[in-house]
């Protein structure tokens, strides 16, 4: 299965995920074990991996990343800078939401306005609050304005899901979360709270069709249980295993460990304005004292 920044596998890229050897072959249902159930399926009212793994298959983003990590078109086909603070995006004219209504620039502008509205209270606000204006120039053109030069804009927009203005305004935030409508390769089927979310392949998807007719995302908080499910063949793919659990699958005949890179950066920050950390020599000594190779090999399993 192609990993394209859209669809099931791309949405499930994590620090360490596992997959049963036959899971990516043709089959009627893909079963995925997450750590927790989604906190929300409205893509603009949460920011956690388990929710993202599910809703990323229901919604398209303005732009996305390819297998090499390059920013590439998705709903936007192209873009150009009009100035340091204005970017104009051309929008696909062949995309429909799951209810059959056409996706237009109005939906893109609405999605930006919604997530950047402080009153809406999106936990993703800090990632988009440099945008001060979003307007539909015509049905296939959107212009975004930032409060200054913002080189990270496109990198942030790979996380912007496009929601249907007509549905959200008609039903409200709470109802939209219960029955989300997007334009992605999978449509929402049902959500059995505390147990699983079921999606169905979108037969009219404008892009690469979903490879599995049905996808089930289950909440399995215990990592050892996720491993046991893989070994038993009751799940096809499990996410978020530490190096010790992954090592248990090294010689497994039923499961394979996949390690992938992420965009996440974790770091230790020091207050260099106060003594004694204002001394570069001390900071250098700390850097030398940290056994980086030991952390990688001993804790992260290489």
pLDDT over 60 at 224, yes or no = yes
Sequence-separated (6 or more) residues with CB below 8 Å from residue 14:
49, 239, 240, 260, 262
Short-list 74, 40, 76, CA closest to 55: 40
The overall pTM is greater than 0.95? no
pLDDT band at 19 (very low <50, low <70, confident <90, very high): very low
Q: Which residue has the higher pLDDT, 13 or 94?
A: 94
Residue 2 pLDDT? 29
Name the token pair of 32. Answer: 């995925």
Name the token pair of 150. Answer: 């913002």
Q: What is the tens place of the pLDDT at every residue in 97-135?
A: 999 999 999 999 999 999 999 999 999 999 999 999 999
Domain 7-58+184-259: assigned CATH number: 3.40.190.10
CATH architecture for segment(s) 70-166: Alpha-Beta Complex (3.90)
pLDDT band at 12 (very low <50, low <70, confident <90, very high): very low
pLDDT over 90 at 286, yes or no = yes
Residue 248 pLDDT? 85
Residue range(s) occupied by CATH 3.90.76.10 in the chain: 70-166
Sequence-separated (6 or more) residues with CB below 8 Å from residue 273:
none
Residue range(s) occupied by CATH 3.40.190.10 in the chain: 7-58+184-259
Short-list 210, 200, 177, 167, CA closest to 6: 210
Residue 69 pLDDT? 85
Q: What is the tens place of the pLDDT at every residue in 82-95?
A: 999 999 999 999 99
Q: Using CB atoms within 10 Å of the CB of residue 128, give its burial: 0 to 12 exposed, 13 to 18 middle, 19+ buried.
A: buried
Residue 20 pLDDT? 52
* Average predicted confidence (pLDDT) for the chain: 89
Residue 47 pLDDT? 85
DSSP state of 209: P
Q: Give the whole-number percent of the chain exceeding pLDDT 90.
A: 75
């Amino acid at each position: 299965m192609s990993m394209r920044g859209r669809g099931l596998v791309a949405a499930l890229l994590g620090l360490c995920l596992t997959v049963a050897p036959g899971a990516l072959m043709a089959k009627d249902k893909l079963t995925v074990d997450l750590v927790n159930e989604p906190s929300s399926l409205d893509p603009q009212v949460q920011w956690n991996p388990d929710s993202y793994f599910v809703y990323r298959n229901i919604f398209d983003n303005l732009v996305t990343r390819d297998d090499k990590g390059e920013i590439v078109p998705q709903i936007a086909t192209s873009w150009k800078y009009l100035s340091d603070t204005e970017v104009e995006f051309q929008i696909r004219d062949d995309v429909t939401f799951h209810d059959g209504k056409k996706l237009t620039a109005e939906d893109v502008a609405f999605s930006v306005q919604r997530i950047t509205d402080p009153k809406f209270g999106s936990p993703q606000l800090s990632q988009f609050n440099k945008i001060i204006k979003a307007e539909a120039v015509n049905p296939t053109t959107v212009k975004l304005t930032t409060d200054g030069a913002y080189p990270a804009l496109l990198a942030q927009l790979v996380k912007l899901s496009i929601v249907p203005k007509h549905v959200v305004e008609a039903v409200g935030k709470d109802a939209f979360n219960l029955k989300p409508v997007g334009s992605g390769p999978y449509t929402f089927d049902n959500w059995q709270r505390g147990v699983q979310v079921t999606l169905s392949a979108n037969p009219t998807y404008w892009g690469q069709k979903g490879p599995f007719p049905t996808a089930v995302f289950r909440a399995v908080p215990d990592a050892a249980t996720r491993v046991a499910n893989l070994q038993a063949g009751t799940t096809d793919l499990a996410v978020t295993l530490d190096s010790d659990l992954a090592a248990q699958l090294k010689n497994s005949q039923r499961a394979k460990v996949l390690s992938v890179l992420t965009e996440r950066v974790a770091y230790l920050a020091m207050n260099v304005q106060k003594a004694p950390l204002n001394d570069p020599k001390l900071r250098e000594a700390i850097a030398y004292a940290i056994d980086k190779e030991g952390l990688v090999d001993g804790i992260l399993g290489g």
